[in-house]
């Protein structure tokens, strides 16, 4: 075993004659087994398991290149079908004007949405340096994409947990603002921005100044939760609101597909700048796309369609309610430990918590001890003016059972006691 491991990691040049397939498989698979177990990855939002029929479809379509739209016409139709279903879920005003695409994840969707916002703003003949307004709860991909696209970020620092600084956002707007980012499910704490309030504020500002500043909703997390949860589905956040120009969702989070799939949907024709679509004619016939990547497997698009057909509204509803229920049980139990304070609110199945008082050990020692019991528990400082707060976070996914949650709580309590006793006096 030791010999073969050396072969894997010291091989910096290809072997002249390769090796038998079974040997390459065993070498790599043996090493991969030493990775953490996704089931214990408490911080990740992405789907870790799909039904066997979905796996079969994925296997059948992994080699089909999505971009070759003329050779794979049924796949292209499925892609369009999935977009229509999502467009419907998000209440696009006119199904005849469906502008959207699958992407490799929400980050690519955000990149394209930002570019579209910049081009819409350019088309209005505005002058100056384009800026985007976001709050300090925005995901890192916004900072990355804005930098790549030469868009200035006007970040509004959050001063309190779950308090949206609407006045500060309003004050930051100017004629070079290409859009406001609203988050339906902040990665770090699970809170959702008050999108109706933002929309009302923009309607007034746009009217007074004759601007057309729109909202992009980053619904990477909440996009497949809000339409299905009893308590959330009546809340307006999507294209029902007039200033929402585009929305991204992660199919690989609560959309229930394996990692590698996101969705971007535009409100209508006006929100989708001419020229964003690029036609290529060197495959068989013409293919249109507006994503950064060109060649991509069809597998996860097909898998998304499988989920829509298999689970239906009822299945997604049950999944969401189950996650929310498990999250509420976890929150309650963590609060009851007496040494933890839950800082999330269970709007989404995300449980963030911190120590009530500074413990007599490093938080890193605590998460390390939990790691010895397989749990991968992220810990991080909040941003903006909340920098002094370090939180830990559990994403309650579809795969998480009550038994697993009970085990986690027991381990959290035990690890705390061990470290406290070790550091006593
Ligand atoms: C709110 C939010 N936006 C964007 C992203 C980036 O999404 P992806 O990982 O699908 O590229 C994430 C990732 O967790 C997120 O939570």
pLDDT digits (tens, 9 = 90+) for 75-89: 999 999 999 999 999
Å from CA of 220 to ligand 1 middle: 5
Quote the crossing angle between the two packed helices 106-123 and 140-148, to the nearest 10°: 50
pLDDT one-digit tens code per residue, 401-415: 999 999 999 999 999
Domain end, chosen from 276, 307, 338, is at 307
Give me the residues paired with residue 288 across strands. 279
| Residue 104 scores a pLDDT above 50 | yes
Same domain, 254 and 342: no
Same domain, 331 and 412: yes
Atom of ligand 1 nearest to the CA of 45: 14
pLDDT one-digit tens code per residue, 211-244: 999 999 999 999 999 999 999 999 999 999 999 9
Same domain, 118 and 264: yes
- The DSSP output letter for 254 is T
| CATH at 282 | 3.40.640.10
pLDDT one-digit tens code per residue, 333-352: 999 999 999 999 889 999 99
- Residue 6 in domain: no
Distance separating alpha carbons of residues 9 and 288, to the nearest angstrom: 41
Domain hosting residue 228, numbered range: 55-307
Q: Is the CB of 220 under 6 A from ligand 1?
A: yes
Give me the residues paired with residue 250 across strands. 262
Same domain, 239 and 329: no
Nearest CA to ligand 1 atom 14: 187
Would you say 401 and 352 are in contact if contact means Cβ atoms under 8 Å apart?
A: no
How big is the chain by its Cα radius of gyration, in Å?
A: 23
- Look at residues 347, 355, 383, 353 and name the one whose alpha carbon lies nearest to residue 42: 353
Distance separating alpha carbons of residues 61 and 424, to the nearest angstrom: 58
- Look at residues 235, 291, 242, 250 and name the one whose alpha carbon lies nearest to residue 271: 242
SS3 state of residue 178: strand
- Residue 216 in domain: yes
Mean pLDDT, residues 387-392:
90
Q: Is the CB of 221 under 6 A from ligand 1?
A: yes
Å from CA of 225 to ligand 1 middle: 15
Same domain, 324 and 292: no
Distance separating alpha carbons of residues 19 and 10, to the nearest angstrom: 15
Mean pLDDT, residues 262-279:
91
Atom of ligand 1 nearest to the CA of 187: 16
Q: Is the CB of 45 under 6 A from ligand 1?
A: yes
Ordered alpha helix ranges (H), 174-261: 195-209
Residue among 102, 103, 112, 141 whose CB has most ligand 1 atoms within 8 A, to mutate = 141
- Residue 75 in domain: yes
Q: Is the CB of 216 under 6 A from ligand 1?
A: no
Same domain, 301 and 357: no
Same domain, 130 and 253: yes
- Residue 22 in domain: no
Same domain, 152 and 188: yes
CB burial string 203-216: b at 16+ within 10 A, e below: eebbeeeebbbbbb
Domain end, chosen from 252, 273, 307, is at 307
Residue among 108, 111, 137, 139 whose CB has most ligand 1 atoms within 8 A, to mutate = 139
Tell how strand 390-395 and strand 379-381 pair up: antiparallel
Place of tokens 């911080």: 43
Number of separate domains in the chain: 2
Place of tokens 């991204």: 248
Distance separating alpha carbons of residues 362 and 417, to the nearest angstrom: 14
Same domain, 291 and 346: no
Q: Is the CB of 139 under 6 A from ligand 1?
A: yes
- Residue 83 in domain: yes
In terms of Cβ atoms closer than 10 Å to its own Cβ (0-12, 13-18, 19+), residue 168 is: middle
Å from CA of 44 to ligand 1 middle: 10
pLDDT one-digit tens code per residue, 15-72: 889 999 999 999 999 999 999 999 999 999 999 999 999 999 999 999 999 988 888 8
**Structure-block tokens of residue 59:** 């296997």
Distance separating alpha carbons of residues 133 and 276, to the nearest angstrom: 22
State how far the alpha carbon of 96 is from the alpha carbons of 88, 203, 417, in Å.
Answer: 11, 25, 60
DSSP 271-327: GS-TTSSEEE-SSSS-EEE-SS--S-BSHHHHHHHHHHHHHHHHHHHHHHHHHHHHH
Q: Is the CB of 187 under 6 A from ligand 1?
A: yes
Same domain, 94 and 233: yes
Q: Is the CB of 106 under 6 A from ligand 1?
A: yes
Place of tokens 């947990």: 161
Å from CA of 349 to ligand 1 middle: 15
- Residue 314 in domain: no
Distance separating alpha carbons of residues 117 and 110, to the nearest angstrom: 10
- Residue 68 in domain: yes
Considering all CA atoms of the chain, what is the largest pairwise distance in Å, rounded to the nearest integer?
76
pLDDT band for position 183 (cuts 50, 70, 90): very high
Look at the alpha carbons of 219, 220, 224, 225 in this order and tell me if their dihedral is positive or negative: negative
Domain end, chosen from 246, 276, 307, is at 307
Å from CA of 139 to ligand 1 middle: 6
Same domain, 61 and 105: yes
The pTM of this model reads: 0.95
Same domain, 299 and 190: yes
Atom of ligand 1 nearest to the CA of 185: 1
Question: How many residues make up the chain in this entry?
Answer: 425
Q: Is the CB of 189 under 6 A from ligand 1?
A: no
Distance separating alpha carbons of residues 224 and 402, to the nearest angstrom: 22
**Cβ atoms within 10 Å of 4's Cβ, excluding its own:** 13
Q: Is the CB of 218 under 6 A from ligand 1?
A: yes
State how far the alpha carbon of 413 is from the alpha carbons of 69, 340, 346, 364, 420, in Å.
Answer: 54, 10, 21, 16, 11
| Residue 296 scores a pLDDT above 60 | yes
| CATH at 347 | 3.90.1150.160
């Amino acid at each position: 075993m030791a010999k073969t491991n050396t072969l894997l990691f010291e091989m910096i040049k290809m072997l002249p004659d390769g090796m038998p397939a079974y040997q390459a498989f065993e070498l790599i698979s043996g090493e991969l087994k030493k990775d953490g177990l996704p089931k214990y990855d408490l911080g990740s939002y992405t789907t870790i398991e799909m039904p066997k029929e979905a796996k079969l479809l994925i296997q059948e379509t992994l080699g089909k290149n999505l971009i070759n739209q003329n050779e794979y016409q049924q796949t292209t139709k499925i892609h369009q079908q999935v977009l229509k279903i999502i467009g419907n879920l998000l209440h696009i005003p006119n199904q005849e004007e469906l502008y959207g695409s699958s992407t490799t994840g929400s980050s690519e969707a955000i990149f394209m949405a930002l570019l579209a916002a910049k081009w819409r703003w350019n088309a209005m003949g505005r002058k100056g340096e384009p800026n985007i307004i976001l709050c300090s709860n925005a995901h890192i991909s916004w900072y990355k994409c804005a930098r790549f696209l030469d868009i200035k970020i006007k970040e509004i620092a959050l001063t309190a947990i779950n308090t949206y600084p609407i006045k500060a956002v309003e004050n930051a707007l100017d004629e070079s603002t290409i859009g406001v980012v609203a988050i339906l499910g902040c990665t770090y704490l699970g809170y959702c921005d008050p999108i109706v309030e933002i929309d009302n504020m923009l309607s007034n500002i746009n009217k007074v100044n004759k601007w057309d500043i729109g909202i992009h909703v980053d619904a990477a997390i909440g996009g497949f939760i809000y339409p299905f949860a009893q308590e959330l589905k009546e809340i307006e956040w999507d294209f029902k609101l007039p200033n929402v120009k585009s929305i991204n969702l992660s199919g690989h989070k609560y959309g229930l597909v394996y990692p590698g799939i996101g969705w971007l949907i535009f409100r209508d024709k006006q929100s989708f700048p001419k020229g964003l679509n690029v036609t290529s004619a060197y495959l068989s016939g013409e293919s249109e796309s507006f994503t950064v990547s060109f060649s991509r497997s069809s597998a996860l698009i097909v898998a998304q369609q499988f989920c829509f057909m298999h689970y239906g509204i009822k299945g997604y509803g049950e999944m969401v309610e189950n996650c929310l229920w498990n999250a509420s049980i976890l929150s309650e139990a963590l609060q009851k430990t007496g040494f933890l304070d839950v800082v999330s609110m269970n709007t989404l199945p995300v449980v963030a918590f911190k120590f009530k008082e500074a413990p007599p050990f490093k938080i890193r020692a605590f998460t390390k001890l939990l790691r010895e019991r397989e749990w991968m528990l992220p810990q991080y400082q909040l941003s903006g003016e909340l920098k002094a707060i370090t939180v830990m976070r559990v994403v309650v996914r579809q795969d998480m059972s009550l038994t697993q949650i009970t085990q986690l709580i027991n381990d959290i309590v035990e690890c705390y006691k061990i470290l406290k006793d070790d550091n006593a006096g």
